[in-house]
Amino acid sequence: MSVGRRAVFLDRDGVLVEEIVRGGRAYAPLRLEDFRVVPQAGRQVERLRAAGLTCIVVTNQPDLARGALHPHALEQMHAHLRTEVHVSDIYVCPHASTDGCACHKPKPGLLRAAARKHDIDLAQSFLIGDRWRDIGAGRAAGCFSILLDRSYSGCDAADARVGDLGEAVDVILSRLTG
């Protein structure tokens, strides 16, 4: 029986895209003009890809369900993200947390769907996120989960805690060779 490939699941906002923080809470951009890719994101994802890892974005976008985010704006944001950061795929949960879907993080539905499509071994894969929901999804899927520790993270269950994306990539690369 063949083993699937290894992947890194990356949350979008707060990991690859600059978070918008107001009143101690983080928010996703709702307009393309507010969508800013983290300056080091492209370089860090290239480091992961060079190590043979499949890089996939997994993001909750409940503002779609609320009507605050237009689907066309989301498409534009993701087109921009793909030009700056070369990821294999982007998976979006368009539901509110109260909708009861299987894909809204901390549920692992997005990761499991990506694993099926891309032949990924979840137990040999990683997740990088900045909130408890991300880490919960990664752990529920069996991934090694790395928290980019922020004031709003609300998480104490991560396998590793780091300050930025570069440090998260360092942790992953050291685990591949260690």
Report the CATH fold assignment for 7-177. Rossmann fold (3.40.50)
Helix/strand/coil for 8: strand
**CA–CA distance, 79 with 89 (Å, rounded to integer):** 11
CA angle at 12 for the pair 52 and 126, rounded to the nearest 5°: 40
pLDDT in tens, 59-93: 999 999 999 999 999 999 999 999 999 999 999 99
Annotated catalytic sites, by residue?
Answer: 11, 13
pTM: 0.96
pLDDT at 116 over 50: yes
CA distances from 97 to 39, 77, 133 (A): 30, 22, 10
CA distances from 41 to 12, 129, 175 (A): 10, 13, 20
Q: Which of 21-25, 32-36, 48-52, 67-71 has the lowest mean pLDDT?
A: 21-25
pLDDT in tens, 123-169: 999 999 999 999 999 999 999 999 999 999 999 999 999 999 999 99
Rounded average pLDDT over 89-109: 96
Domain residues of the chain, as ranges? Answer: 7-177
pLDDT in tens, 27-46: 999 999 999 999 999 999 99
